[in-house]
Amino acid sequence: MTRVLAVTNWYPPHHFGGYELSCFDVMKRLVARGHDVAVLTSDEVVPGASSPDADHERLVSRTLRLYHRHDEIYRPGVGERLAIERHNQAALKDVLERHQPDVASVWHMGALSLGLLSTLMERDVPQVFSVCDDWLLYGEKLDAWTDLFRHGVPKQLAGTVVSRVTGVPSRVGDLGAAGAFLFVSEFIRSRAERMSRWTFPCSTVVYSGIERAIFDAQPRPGTWSDRLLFVGRWDPRKGAHTAIRALEHLPGATLQCFGRGSETERAALVALAERLGLADRVDFAQVDRHELPPIYAAADAFVFPSEWDEPFGLVPVEAMACGTPVVATIRGGSAEFLVDGANCVQFEAGAADDLARAVRRVRDDAALRDRIVAGGLALAAELDVERLADTFEQWHTYAASGFQVERPADRVLP
């Protein structure tokens, strides 16, 4: 049995995407396997979130304060920043005293106090970092406290003085030496190695996983009706606007959009559909994860129109697990598992006409459709959260030993 303290910015049911859901999935499995888990996360409430699981919620302390308010990065005055840091340090020290963890499991640190990691280092708590996006690159900028002391020697020296006076860390030291780094993709690891100020001597790629107890093969519609589906965060980089514009090239097609995130972006997408005269062919809604399988299965094709370099991308794998054909851009970490013609059909990011052509290819070529569905099912069987939990369990045990036992093997996708 290992005592694990998970630290993260959001934790379901209050979440915006797959990063937080992966943390939740892994922590629930560690609990089920007999480990003693505590979770320290923020007090931010996500509108529309469902009620938490009462038994699991007893393990969760929702006490941290984020530099994030109402879909925006929060930049308060210096006095309030110091108050936030003192509050967060007190919250961490309280749970450390109560839980006495053998290992800290560090997840999404965006807009969260990175000084928490400094305190874990000072207390010699081994850390396992789950890195599912680029927070190693942007984290210090979004942490409004450490951002004060980042640039130039004078500011760094001022931060040293402030830390001595206040007892609050102003800068993260050699984070790469603090523990093991479990990157969601080789793409994210290589970016961190090239662009962050740290090196990562102990790292691996673990990929990610979907909840197969929820997502499995579903009854499919018998005939093609051009029913398209988008699931993702309301964020311009996710490309939902391209999926909407593709309807101009697909007469009679409809698009369902399920997501959460920026209400500003959601409103912009609604306005786009209205401006293009497509409002009666596009629906917007928000559902919980367990409600998605029949929605995936009812779609003729799932659209993954991401226009940025995705760290990974779980939603196309969820669609694949439900037997739904996927048309996708293949960018960033998603290029490590999406293969054109084998488990999806590729289209050019931002090109609504190319997306429409990809949909028509899937519609008109039954052999292609069957092939990518079969390939998707095989991929979904491999990218299972149980296997992800196995990997995390091994690495947490390794870290809790002080990195003295045999290092876990690297995970390799077939």
Task: Give tens-digit pLDDT for 241-282.
Answer: 999 999 999 999 999 999 988 889 999 999 999 999 999 999
Tell me the CA distances in angstroms from 372 to 6, 346, 361, one per residue in order.
37, 11, 12
Give, as one character, the DSSP assignment of residue 344: B
Cα–Cα distance between 171 and 191 in angstroms, integer? 21
DSSP H helical ranges for 254-298: 263-275, 292-298
In 3D, which of 86, 122, 93 has the Cα closest to residue 7?
A: 93
**What is the reported pTM?**
0.90
- Residue 298's region, left for phi above 0, alpha for psi from -120 to 50, else beta, is alpha
User: What pLDDT sits at residue 363?
Assistant: 97
User: What pLDDT sits at residue 17?
Assistant: 81
Cα–Cα distance between 76 and 43 in angstroms, integer? 17
Q: Would you say 234 and 17 are in contact if contact means Cβ atoms under 8 Å apart? A: no
User: What pLDDT sits at residue 221?
Assistant: 74
What are the mean pLDDT values of the chain's consecutive 10-residue runs (414 residues total)?
A: 97 89 96 98 89 93 94 93 98 98 98 97 97 96 95 88 93 94 98 96 96 84 91 95 98 95 93 97 92 95 96 95 97 96 98 98 97 96 95 97 95 85
Q: Would you say 377 and 321 are in contact if contact means Cβ atoms under 8 Å apart? A: yes
